Structure 1
Amino acid sequence: MLTIQQVDTRSREQVHRFIQFHYDLYRGTPQWVPPFYSDIRLMLDREKHPFYEHSDGDFFLALRGKEVVGRIAILENRPFNEYHQCKKAQFYLFDCINDLEVARALFDRAAEWCKARGLTEIVGPKGLSAFDGYGIQVEGFEHRQMMTMMNYNFDYYPKLMEALGFEKEVDFVSAYINRENFQLPDKMREVARRVIERGKFKVVNFRNKKELVAWAPKIGEAYNKAFVNNWEYYPLSPREVKFVLDNLLMVAVPELIKIITYNEDVVGFLFGFPDISAALQRQGGRITPWGLVDFMLEMKRTKFISLNGVGVLPEYHGRGGNVLLYAEMAKFLENSQFTEGELTQMAETAVQIRKDILVAGSKPWKNHRVYHKVL
């Protein structure tokens, strides 16, 4: 018999069952990178996660007898709805065995939750913070997941979503780049050179985390403005900005963070991260003293970089700010340990950046789709 059980987030045992199902389902899948157990546990912590200071959510398990066969989080992001003047719920942490009955039962329960709150549409996967990966993977299953910055799922997930009547909302494409093929056209290089010569635009480089921390408030302010035209945008609260920046600073390599300024104001940024997916797989989602050593060693030997968080304030695109950003990308591949990389999860609504990086020689290789359904 199939039942749907709401998770009591105050119960350590129930929270563990919800989290552990994901690890059990994907264990042994070579493309899957385990998330940090503590990161997922934080999502269910109503006292510590900044999402809950303005919004709400619940978590559900699908049980067949005593066996967990599926799970889902259903969320109401109130600032997003206020900004976009809509009544949407968002789902996240959806996992399910290949069984339409299980998927239907989970989403039926999610729909009940939505209707009780006057919400008229369900959208997702979409998480609790800006660095949670978007969408269900629909292309590129043969490629390894980029650390914990995106979701990985089996190829039957899109079929389940479509069978349940969900339709495409927006795609997030990740593109492959390498040293040989990612070449800025001469015209772009010349524009970047002239932009720097004029002296209004500058590229800020960092030598250590102390310098990076000093810039954090300005970075947060620019981050909150740069994606204003993107589908996923809503104004982050001060605590959410701090949450994003604290997470960024925890894993940042200062030399791989670039800030673009115009007359001393931050107008763009480029966040680069060494791909330590192999170490994350070895550690299985746990943080231990040996695991930290493993992560540090992998940072030094990996040849692969993730560029996740590439943005320029819209009003500076036509002035050369975006071209300057691409020139910095090219330098990562030309003058560092990295010979290849990935531009991770670019929304299709970021039209100009996606167009420009294709011209420069990137190759789309993964696609994550956010689905929606009117209730």
Structure 2
Amino acid sequence: MAKTYNFSAGPGVLPDEVITQIKQEFERNEHTHMSIIEISHRSAQFQAIVTEAEQKLRELMAIPEDYAVIFLQGGGSTQFEMIPLNFATNQSHIAILDSGNFAAKASEAAEMLGKQATVLNSTKGINYQKLPILPEHFDPELYDYLHIVTNNTIEGITFHQDNLPSTTGRLVADMSSNILAEPYDINAFDAVFAGGQKNLGPAGVTVAITKKDWLAQQDVRHVGPMMRYQNHIDKQSMYNTSPVFSIYALNLVLDWVVAQGGVTEMHRRNLEKAHKLYAFLDQSDFYTAPVETNARSLTNVVFTTGDLTRDKMIAKRAESEGLFNLNGHRSVGGFRASLYNAQSMAAVDALITFLKKVEKEQV
């Protein structure tokens, strides 16, 4: 069978080693003597998995003890509600830098909860090809926190560590599609969340990292029990039935990242993969990568021929050559090649070879 490559933005590609181990343990795990999808979330075996996963994530991201780490359900979209419910309790007013679709969704969710959400700056008018800049007059005292999306999966634009907005106020980050893909100083943030299905494992688990002292200051008496971070923290991510399989698989992915050399090595590889693809696109007269160079995503490379109908036809043809899920998001079209940690350089090489062939035929 010919080698195939999955460029899906999420659920994304998993390491081959992880999939192999899941296959081996799916029917009977050597420690539990039953299938991993059968074990209780209250069992000692699963509690050990949660503890291990938290410790590995702390080590990989250098998360200090004054931050809580929990594993939840509901994806990043539920975090759009949990974050303002738990943290927008003083001013009931949050600030947003609109760098893409998911920043806009976070703003909409906060507004629906009765919180005021002010978009300080947006690059929607230029199709999110540049990052929005924090206005000079921004006064963090007027807001409970500033919300950003570090990597915009749809638009392929990123706040890297060196171009994060500088604020003396609280900073919240949605890291769903580039957590562990490049280094961030966790101390720059007061809360971070990430849906697991893009770079941490299969769908079903969400990581939430919150500063304990900030959480302790909040009044959440009118927040439902499932939406309170503290309830999940107190029960070590087992306040209700946990997504057992997804956390188990996430733990295996963390093992794999550690074995590969950690976030530093992931970042080196991701730079190499992304730069190789961008270099090809930039020299091409047929394809265009529209995002400003210093804000380009390492994990979601967005590009187009300029003809969206042709782009669809090319993406469909790519499937016949073993290159799957290259269509851009339905809201923007074009192409999107997701190069998460588990994506190989061989996949990038195969993609470039295919794109060159198409270009040669068209010119």
With the shorter chain as reference, the TM-score category is under 0.3
Structure with greater strand share of residues: 1
**TM-score, with length taken from structure 2:** 0.26
